[in-house]
Amino acid sequence: MKNGKATIHDIAEKLQVTASTVSRALNNNPRISDATKKKVLKAAKELNYQPNNIASALRSGKSRLIGVVVPTANRNFFSSVIRGIEEIANSVNYKVVISQSYDDYEKEMQTIEALLNVQVDGIIASIGKTTENVDHYKKILKKGIPLVLFDRVTNELDVSQVVIDDYYGAFQATEHLINEGCRRIVHFSNSQNINIYKERKRGYEDALLKHGIPVDLELIRFSKLQLEDGRTSMQEVIDAKIPFDAVFSASDYSIMGAMQVLKENGYKLPEDVKLVGFGDEPFTSFTEPTLTTVNQKSIPMGNITAETFFEILNQKDQKNVISKKTILKPELIIRNSSLKTQNHNSTIDLIA
Protein backbone atom coordinates (compact mmCIF):
# COMPACT_ATOMS: atom_id res chain seq x y z
CA MET A 1 0.00 0.00 0.00
CA LYS A 2 2.04 2.90 -1.29
CA ASN A 3 1.27 6.61 -1.32
CA GLY A 4 -1.77 6.12 0.81
CA LYS A 5 -3.91 4.42 -1.79
CA ALA A 6 -5.35 1.09 -0.85
CA THR A 7 -6.03 -1.46 -3.61
CA ILE A 8 -8.01 -4.65 -3.52
CA HIS A 9 -4.75 -6.42 -2.89
CA ASP A 10 -4.24 -4.54 0.33
CA ILE A 11 -7.66 -5.55 1.49
CA ALA A 12 -7.00 -9.11 0.40
CA GLU A 13 -3.75 -9.29 2.32
CA LYS A 14 -5.28 -7.88 5.45
CA LEU A 15 -8.04 -10.46 5.32
CA GLN A 16 -5.90 -13.35 4.12
CA VAL A 17 -8.05 -13.92 1.05
CA THR A 18 -7.33 -13.27 -2.62
CA ALA A 19 -7.95 -10.19 -4.66
CA SER A 20 -10.65 -11.96 -6.67
CA THR A 21 -12.64 -12.52 -3.53
CA VAL A 22 -12.35 -8.88 -2.64
CA SER A 23 -13.33 -7.87 -6.13
CA ARG A 24 -16.39 -10.06 -5.99
CA ALA A 25 -17.40 -8.70 -2.61
CA LEU A 26 -17.10 -5.17 -3.84
CA ASN A 27 -19.11 -5.74 -7.01
CA ASN A 28 -22.17 -7.49 -5.66
CA ASN A 29 -21.10 -10.68 -7.33
CA PRO A 30 -23.43 -13.46 -6.15
CA ARG A 31 -20.63 -15.99 -5.93
CA ILE A 32 -19.58 -14.97 -2.45
CA SER A 33 -20.72 -15.64 1.09
CA ASP A 34 -22.38 -12.95 3.10
CA ALA A 35 -19.85 -13.36 5.84
CA THR A 36 -16.77 -12.62 3.75
CA LYS A 37 -18.59 -9.92 1.91
CA LYS A 38 -19.24 -8.16 5.17
CA LYS A 39 -15.65 -8.56 6.26
CA VAL A 40 -14.38 -7.16 2.98
CA LEU A 41 -16.67 -4.16 3.11
CA LYS A 42 -15.56 -3.46 6.64
CA ALA A 43 -11.89 -3.72 5.77
CA ALA A 44 -12.40 -1.56 2.71
CA LYS A 45 -13.86 1.16 4.85
CA GLU A 46 -11.05 0.86 7.39
CA LEU A 47 -8.40 1.18 4.72
CA ASN A 48 -10.34 4.00 3.12
CA TYR A 49 -10.37 2.06 -0.09
CA GLN A 50 -11.32 4.00 -3.23
CA PRO A 51 -11.78 1.91 -6.34
CA ASN A 52 -9.51 2.81 -9.22
CA ASN A 53 -12.00 3.55 -11.94
CA ILE A 54 -9.34 3.62 -14.58
CA ALA A 55 -8.15 0.12 -13.90
CA SER A 56 -11.72 -0.99 -13.74
CA ALA A 57 -12.47 0.76 -17.00
CA LEU A 58 -9.52 -0.82 -18.74
CA ARG A 59 -10.44 -4.27 -17.60
CA SER A 60 -14.19 -4.09 -18.02
CA GLY A 61 -14.33 -1.78 -20.99
CA LYS A 62 -16.74 0.49 -19.09
CA SER A 63 -15.64 3.92 -17.95
CA ARG A 64 -18.90 4.86 -16.22
CA LEU A 65 -18.65 8.16 -18.03
CA ILE A 66 -21.31 9.68 -20.28
CA GLY A 67 -20.33 12.37 -22.72
CA VAL A 68 -22.89 15.14 -23.07
CA VAL A 69 -22.53 17.46 -26.04
CA VAL A 70 -24.43 20.73 -25.95
CA PRO A 71 -24.06 23.88 -28.02
CA THR A 72 -23.49 25.86 -24.85
CA ALA A 73 -23.99 25.24 -21.16
CA ASN A 74 -24.64 28.92 -20.74
CA ARG A 75 -28.29 28.70 -21.58
CA ASN A 76 -30.92 28.00 -19.06
CA PHE A 77 -32.42 25.29 -21.20
CA PHE A 78 -29.24 23.33 -21.72
CA SER A 79 -27.91 23.69 -18.22
CA SER A 80 -31.22 22.45 -16.88
CA VAL A 81 -31.23 19.47 -19.20
CA ILE A 82 -27.72 18.67 -18.01
CA ARG A 83 -28.91 18.87 -14.45
CA GLY A 84 -31.71 16.45 -15.31
CA ILE A 85 -29.24 14.07 -16.89
CA GLU A 86 -26.88 14.28 -13.94
CA GLU A 87 -29.63 13.44 -11.48
CA ILE A 88 -30.24 10.11 -13.16
CA ALA A 89 -26.62 9.38 -14.03
CA ASN A 90 -25.32 10.02 -10.55
CA SER A 91 -27.99 7.79 -9.08
CA VAL A 92 -26.48 4.84 -10.93
CA ASN A 93 -22.94 5.91 -10.19
CA TYR A 94 -22.22 7.37 -13.60
CA LYS A 95 -20.45 10.65 -14.16
CA VAL A 96 -21.21 13.21 -16.83
CA VAL A 97 -18.59 14.88 -19.00
CA ILE A 98 -19.98 18.07 -20.45
CA SER A 99 -18.66 19.25 -23.79
CA GLN A 100 -19.65 22.45 -25.51
CA SER A 101 -19.72 22.66 -29.30
CA TYR A 102 -20.38 26.39 -29.32
CA ASP A 103 -22.68 25.69 -32.28
CA ASP A 104 -19.59 25.16 -34.38
CA TYR A 105 -19.43 22.16 -36.70
CA GLU A 106 -15.65 21.72 -36.43
CA LYS A 107 -15.70 21.97 -32.64
CA GLU A 108 -18.56 19.52 -32.51
CA MET A 109 -16.58 16.92 -34.41
CA GLN A 110 -13.49 17.50 -32.32
CA THR A 111 -15.35 17.32 -29.09
CA ILE A 112 -16.99 14.03 -30.02
CA GLU A 113 -13.60 12.67 -31.04
CA ALA A 114 -12.24 13.79 -27.68
CA LEU A 115 -15.08 12.18 -25.79
CA LEU A 116 -14.56 8.89 -27.57
CA ASN A 117 -10.89 9.20 -26.73
CA VAL A 118 -11.57 9.44 -23.03
CA GLN A 119 -13.59 6.27 -23.53
CA VAL A 120 -17.04 7.43 -22.54
CA ASP A 121 -19.57 4.61 -22.44
CA GLY A 122 -21.96 6.59 -24.56
CA ILE A 123 -22.95 9.99 -25.77
CA ILE A 124 -25.94 12.23 -25.29
CA ALA A 125 -26.02 15.15 -27.68
CA SER A 126 -27.93 18.11 -28.99
CA ILE A 127 -26.84 18.94 -32.52
CA GLY A 128 -25.29 22.32 -33.23
CA LYS A 129 -27.07 24.88 -35.38
CA THR A 130 -24.46 24.91 -38.11
CA THR A 131 -24.20 21.13 -38.35
CA GLU A 132 -25.65 19.77 -41.54
CA ASN A 133 -23.50 16.71 -42.04
CA VAL A 134 -24.00 14.10 -39.33
CA ASP A 135 -21.31 11.61 -40.30
CA HIS A 136 -19.53 12.09 -36.99
CA TYR A 137 -22.66 10.82 -35.27
CA LYS A 138 -22.89 7.88 -37.63
CA LYS A 139 -19.37 6.98 -36.60
CA ILE A 140 -20.47 6.74 -32.98
CA LEU A 141 -23.23 4.35 -33.90
CA LYS A 142 -20.96 2.29 -36.10
CA LYS A 143 -18.71 1.72 -33.13
CA GLY A 144 -21.67 0.34 -31.25
CA ILE A 145 -21.58 3.15 -28.74
CA PRO A 146 -24.97 4.21 -27.36
CA LEU A 147 -26.18 7.58 -28.58
CA VAL A 148 -29.25 9.54 -27.59
CA LEU A 149 -30.18 12.91 -29.04
CA PHE A 150 -32.29 15.55 -27.37
CA ASP A 151 -33.98 18.72 -28.52
CA ARG A 152 -31.94 19.49 -31.62
CA VAL A 153 -32.23 16.19 -33.41
CA THR A 154 -32.11 14.92 -36.97
CA ASN A 155 -34.06 12.43 -39.00
CA GLU A 156 -30.97 11.23 -40.81
CA LEU A 157 -29.98 9.11 -37.85
CA ASP A 158 -31.75 6.04 -36.56
CA VAL A 159 -31.30 6.83 -32.87
CA SER A 160 -33.45 7.40 -29.84
CA GLN A 161 -34.48 10.98 -29.38
CA VAL A 162 -36.13 13.10 -26.74
CA VAL A 163 -37.75 16.27 -27.92
CA ILE A 164 -40.48 18.62 -26.96
CA ASP A 165 -43.48 19.01 -29.16
CA ASP A 166 -42.33 22.20 -30.82
CA TYR A 167 -45.33 22.13 -33.09
CA TYR A 168 -47.66 21.99 -30.12
CA GLY A 169 -45.84 24.74 -28.24
CA ALA A 170 -45.92 27.05 -31.22
CA PHE A 171 -49.54 26.21 -31.92
CA GLN A 172 -50.55 27.04 -28.34
CA ALA A 173 -48.57 30.26 -28.38
CA THR A 174 -50.07 31.42 -31.65
CA GLU A 175 -53.58 30.44 -30.72
CA HIS A 176 -53.18 32.32 -27.46
CA LEU A 177 -52.29 35.47 -29.39
CA ILE A 178 -55.28 34.96 -31.67
CA ASN A 179 -57.52 34.59 -28.64
CA GLU A 180 -56.15 37.87 -27.36
CA GLY A 181 -57.38 39.46 -30.55
CA CYS A 182 -54.29 39.41 -32.78
CA ARG A 183 -54.65 38.78 -36.50
CA ARG A 184 -51.36 39.94 -38.02
CA ILE A 185 -48.74 37.92 -36.15
CA VAL A 186 -45.11 38.26 -37.14
CA HIS A 187 -43.07 35.08 -36.74
CA PHE A 188 -39.30 34.94 -36.24
CA SER A 189 -37.78 31.65 -37.37
CA ASN A 190 -34.37 30.17 -38.12
CA SER A 191 -33.11 27.91 -40.90
CA GLN A 192 -35.73 25.36 -41.90
CA ASN A 193 -32.99 22.73 -41.99
CA ILE A 194 -33.19 22.74 -38.23
CA ASN A 195 -36.10 20.60 -37.20
CA ILE A 196 -37.22 22.51 -34.16
CA TYR A 197 -37.62 25.73 -36.13
CA LYS A 198 -39.46 24.01 -38.94
CA GLU A 199 -41.89 22.54 -36.44
CA ARG A 200 -42.43 25.80 -34.61
CA LYS A 201 -43.21 27.51 -37.88
CA ARG A 202 -45.63 24.74 -38.81
CA GLY A 203 -47.41 25.13 -35.47
CA TYR A 204 -47.66 28.86 -36.04
CA GLU A 205 -49.12 28.38 -39.53
CA ASP A 206 -51.60 25.72 -38.52
CA ALA A 207 -52.93 27.81 -35.67
CA LEU A 208 -53.53 30.67 -38.07
CA LEU A 209 -55.26 28.42 -40.58
CA LYS A 210 -57.45 26.85 -37.90
CA HIS A 211 -58.80 30.31 -37.16
CA GLY A 212 -59.22 31.24 -40.77
CA ILE A 213 -56.28 33.62 -40.85
CA PRO A 214 -54.19 33.42 -44.00
CA VAL A 215 -50.46 32.84 -43.69
CA ASP A 216 -48.72 35.97 -44.94
CA LEU A 217 -45.15 35.19 -45.95
CA GLU A 218 -44.18 38.82 -45.45
CA LEU A 219 -44.72 38.29 -41.74
CA ILE A 220 -42.26 35.43 -41.43
CA ARG A 221 -38.66 36.53 -40.91
CA PHE A 222 -35.67 34.22 -40.90
CA SER A 223 -32.46 34.83 -38.94
CA LYS A 224 -30.12 33.29 -36.37
CA LEU A 225 -32.53 34.47 -33.72
CA GLN A 226 -30.01 36.31 -31.60
CA LEU A 227 -30.99 39.55 -29.90
CA GLU A 228 -29.50 41.61 -32.71
CA ASP A 229 -31.35 39.55 -35.32
CA GLY A 230 -34.58 40.26 -33.54
CA ARG A 231 -33.81 43.97 -33.67
CA THR A 232 -33.05 43.83 -37.38
CA SER A 233 -36.08 41.76 -38.31
CA MET A 234 -38.41 43.95 -36.31
CA GLN A 235 -37.04 47.13 -37.79
CA GLU A 236 -37.42 45.69 -41.29
CA VAL A 237 -41.07 44.92 -40.73
CA ILE A 238 -41.68 48.38 -39.35
CA ASP A 239 -39.79 50.09 -42.15
CA ALA A 240 -41.69 48.11 -44.79
CA LYS A 241 -44.88 49.43 -43.22
CA ILE A 242 -46.28 45.91 -43.02
CA PRO A 243 -49.21 45.98 -40.62
CA PHE A 244 -48.85 43.70 -37.58
CA ASP A 245 -50.26 43.42 -34.10
CA ALA A 246 -48.12 40.70 -32.51
CA VAL A 247 -44.79 38.87 -32.70
CA PHE A 248 -44.25 35.22 -31.93
CA SER A 249 -40.58 34.36 -31.96
CA ALA A 250 -38.99 30.92 -31.93
CA SER A 251 -36.47 32.32 -29.43
CA ASP A 252 -36.54 34.44 -26.30
CA TYR A 253 -33.42 36.25 -27.42
CA SER A 254 -34.78 37.60 -30.66
CA ILE A 255 -38.07 38.61 -29.06
CA MET A 256 -36.01 40.75 -26.68
CA GLY A 257 -34.57 42.54 -29.66
CA ALA A 258 -38.03 43.05 -31.06
CA MET A 259 -39.19 44.41 -27.73
CA GLN A 260 -36.41 46.99 -27.70
CA VAL A 261 -37.04 48.15 -31.25
CA LEU A 262 -40.78 48.37 -30.72
CA LYS A 263 -40.30 50.59 -27.68
CA GLU A 264 -37.76 52.72 -29.48
CA ASN A 265 -40.34 53.25 -32.21
CA GLY A 266 -42.94 54.36 -29.73
CA TYR A 267 -45.16 51.28 -29.70
CA LYS A 268 -46.98 50.60 -26.46
CA LEU A 269 -46.62 47.06 -25.15
CA PRO A 270 -48.77 45.06 -25.00
CA GLU A 271 -51.50 47.47 -26.12
CA ASP A 272 -50.16 48.03 -29.64
CA VAL A 273 -48.21 44.85 -30.12
CA LYS A 274 -48.34 41.60 -28.17
CA LEU A 275 -45.27 39.42 -27.80
CA VAL A 276 -44.60 35.75 -27.18
CA GLY A 277 -41.16 34.13 -27.01
CA PHE A 278 -39.91 30.58 -26.77
CA GLY A 279 -37.59 29.04 -24.18
CA ASP A 280 -38.55 30.55 -20.84
CA GLU A 281 -35.11 32.00 -20.23
CA PRO A 282 -34.87 33.48 -16.73
CA PHE A 283 -34.68 37.03 -18.00
CA THR A 284 -38.16 36.75 -19.55
CA SER A 285 -39.63 37.20 -16.11
CA PHE A 286 -37.95 40.53 -15.56
CA THR A 287 -38.55 42.35 -18.79
CA GLU A 288 -41.21 45.03 -19.10
CA PRO A 289 -43.74 43.89 -19.74
CA THR A 290 -42.92 40.43 -18.45
CA LEU A 291 -42.71 38.08 -21.38
CA THR A 292 -45.10 35.30 -22.32
CA THR A 293 -43.03 32.35 -23.47
CA VAL A 294 -42.96 28.59 -23.95
CA ASN A 295 -41.33 26.46 -21.28
CA GLN A 296 -39.48 23.48 -22.68
CA LYS A 297 -39.55 21.19 -19.66
CA SER A 298 -35.83 20.98 -19.50
CA ILE A 299 -35.25 19.01 -16.31
CA PRO A 300 -37.78 16.28 -17.18
CA MET A 301 -36.23 16.22 -20.61
CA GLY A 302 -32.84 15.57 -19.04
CA ASN A 303 -34.28 12.85 -16.81
CA ILE A 304 -35.96 11.08 -19.67
CA THR A 305 -32.97 11.41 -21.95
CA ALA A 306 -30.75 9.79 -19.33
CA GLU A 307 -33.27 7.04 -18.68
CA THR A 308 -33.49 6.30 -22.38
CA PHE A 309 -29.72 6.27 -22.53
CA PHE A 310 -29.40 3.70 -19.76
CA GLU A 311 -32.07 1.50 -21.31
CA ILE A 312 -29.94 1.32 -24.41
CA LEU A 313 -26.71 0.91 -22.51
CA ASN A 314 -28.11 -2.06 -20.64
CA GLN A 315 -29.13 -3.87 -23.78
CA LYS A 316 -27.06 -6.84 -24.84
CA ASP A 317 -26.93 -6.24 -28.52
CA GLN A 318 -25.93 -2.67 -29.26
CA LYS A 319 -26.33 -3.13 -32.98
CA ASN A 320 -29.99 -4.03 -32.78
CA VAL A 321 -31.50 -1.48 -30.46
CA ILE A 322 -34.89 -0.19 -31.43
CA SER A 323 -34.82 3.57 -31.34
CA LYS A 324 -37.70 5.37 -29.78
CA LYS A 325 -38.75 8.96 -29.85
CA THR A 326 -40.12 10.60 -26.72
CA ILE A 327 -42.09 13.77 -27.17
CA LEU A 328 -42.74 16.06 -24.22
CA LYS A 329 -45.47 18.64 -24.12
CA PRO A 330 -44.17 22.16 -23.56
CA GLU A 331 -46.07 24.62 -21.43
CA LEU A 332 -47.18 28.11 -22.36
CA ILE A 333 -46.21 30.52 -19.59
CA ILE A 334 -48.57 33.44 -19.90
CA ARG A 335 -47.24 36.77 -18.68
CA ASN A 336 -48.06 40.38 -19.45
CA SER A 337 -46.56 40.85 -22.90
CA SER A 338 -49.47 39.06 -24.57
CA LEU A 339 -52.46 40.04 -22.50
CA LYS A 340 -55.27 42.45 -23.30
CA THR A 341 -55.98 43.13 -19.65
CA GLN A 342 -52.92 43.65 -17.56
CA ASN A 343 -52.15 41.41 -14.68
CA HIS A 344 -52.13 43.46 -11.52
CA ASN A 345 -48.57 42.56 -10.66
CA SER A 346 -47.42 44.25 -13.79
CA THR A 347 -44.77 46.87 -13.36
CA ILE A 348 -46.18 48.82 -16.28
CA ASP A 349 -49.47 49.18 -14.44
CA LEU A 350 -47.87 50.66 -11.42
CA ILE A 351 -45.61 53.08 -13.20
CA ALA A 352 -48.45 54.51 -15.23
**Interface ranges with a second copy (CB under 8 A):** 3-4, 50-55, 57-58, 63-65, 72-76, 79-80, 82-83, 86, 90, 95, 97-98, 100, 102, 114, 116-119, 143-144, 227, 256, 260, 263-266, 282-283, 286-288, 347, 350-351
Candidates 2-10, 185-193, 288-296, 316-324 — which segment interacts with DNA by CB under 7 A? 2-10
Q: Is 32 in the site for DNA (CB under 7 A)?
A: yes
CA distance 272 to 19: 76
Candidates 5-13, 216-224, 305-313, 343-351 — which segment interacts with DNA by CB under 7 A? 5-13
Contact 198, 250 (CB under 8 A): no
Number of Cβ atoms within 10 Å of the Cβ of 194: 21
Q: Closest CB to DNA among 116 and 134?
A: 116
Out of 52, 74, 193, 285, the only residue in the binding site for DNA (CB under 7 A) is: 52
Q: Closest CB to DNA among 32 and 85?
A: 32
Out of 51, 157, 184, 318, the only residue in the binding site for DNA (CB under 7 A) is: 51
Contact 328, 150 (CB under 8 A): no
251 DSSP assignment: S
Q: Closest CB to DNA among 30 and 212?
A: 30
CA distance 72 to 242: 35
CA distance 175 to 182: 9
CA dist list (Å): 129 to 80, 106, 248: 19, 12, 20
The CB-of-351 to a second copy minimum distance in angstroms stands at 5
Report DSSP letters for 118-168, one per residue.
Answer: TT-SEEEE---TT----HHHHHHHHTT--EEEESS--SSS-SEEEEE-HHH
Residue 30 contact, options DNA, a second copy, none, Cβ 5-8 Å cut-off depending on partner type: DNA
Q: Closest CB to a second copy among 77 and 204?
A: 77
The CB-of-178 to a second copy minimum distance in angstroms stands at 28
Q: Closest CB to DNA among 32 and 177?
A: 32
Q: Is 30 in the site for DNA (CB under 7 A)?
A: yes
The CB-of-68 to a second copy minimum distance in angstroms stands at 9
CA distance 283 to 252: 9
Length of the chain: 352
CA distance 248 to 51: 53
Which positions touch DNA (CB under 7 A)?
Answer: 5, 7-9, 16-21, 23-24, 26-27, 29-33, 35-37, 51-52, 55-56, 58-60
